[in-house]
Amino acid sequence: MTNEFMRVVEINGVKIEVDLRTAKRVDSFSIGTPVKLLKQEYSDSYSTYTGVIIGFDEFKNLPSITVAYVKAGYGDHGIEFVTINAKTEKMEIAPLQEHEYKFSFSDVVKKFDNEIEKKQTEIDQIKTKKEWFIANYKKFFSFCKDIEE
């Protein structure tokens, strides 16, 4: 009679019988491993992001994994960073499977370019306002003797 919970697995040529009721999943991560980040946003709302492991910090008291993930939702875009360790709450990581959604590199770069363009437009507008202010209020402040040239 075969036990439905027992499996024989072969690891490096060694056959081992494993009880699936007590077996634990062990994930192998390295720098550059694509991952999913499950992050609690609000009370019971969770979001999943695509990310990549960018570092392992071997702190004596609290070893940590640093993950860079892409926020590509409406109004959100760019790269965010998070540190995961034994005390991290409201988020966890799991390996990203081949069939799961992966973001397009060129799309993320395009979003960065768009954000740079928006910020550059803001900078240009502020410079224009400054030039206008200097041109139109210089006389007023010269009466107050509060202007430096």
Instruction: Please state the rounded mean pLDDT for residues 20-29.
Output: 77
Q: How many CB atoms lie within 10 A of CB 70?
A: 22
pTM of the entire structure? 0.60
Choose between 90 and 15: higher pLDDT: 90
Rounded CA separation 144/140 (Å): 7
List the structure tokens of 24: 């634990």
Rounded CA separation 146/115 (Å): 38
Q: What confidence tier does 82 reach under pLDDT thresholds 50, 70, 90?
A: very high
pLDDT of residue 77: 63
Spell out the alpha helix ranges (H) of 1-149: 105-144
List the structure tokens of 21: 């009721």
What are the residues facing 84 on neighbouring strands? 65
List the structure tokens of 50: 């695509």
Q: How many CB atoms lie within 10 A of CB 117?
A: 10
Choose between 94 and 107: higher pLDDT: 94
Instruction: Please state the rounded mean pLDDT for residues 122-137.
Output: 92
Asked if residue 48 lies in contact with residue 37, where contact means CB atoms within 8 angstroms, the answer is: yes
pLDDT of residue 32: 87
Name residue, tokens 């803001």.
122
What are the residues facing 68 on neighbouring strands? 52, 81
Contacts with 31 (C-beta within 8 Å, 6 or more apart), sequence order: 53, 54, 55, 56
